[in-house]
Amino acid sequence: MVAAILFSMSFVALGQFGLYYWRAMLLANSMEAVSERVRLAAGIATSSVAAGDFQAMLKVHDLTPKLDGPSNSFRALRIYYGTVQTLGSLVPGIADWANAELTMCSRYLATLTDQHLERNLACAAGVRGI
- For residues 70 and 6, the model is more confident at 6
Q: How high is the pLDDT of residue 11?
A: 95
How far is CA 121 from each of CA 37, 64, 66, 102, rounded to the nearest angstrom? 13, 11, 11, 29
- For residues 60 and 67, the model is more confident at 60
Residue 44 makes CB contacts below 8 A (sequence gap 6+) with 50, 53, 56
pTM: 0.81
**pLDDT tens for residues 21-62?**
999 998 998 888 888 888 888 888 888 888 888 999 988 888
Asked if 24 and 34 touch (Cβ cutoff 8 Å), the reply is no
User: Per-domain residue ranges for the chain?
Assistant: 2-128
Q: 6 pLDDT exceeds 90? A: yes
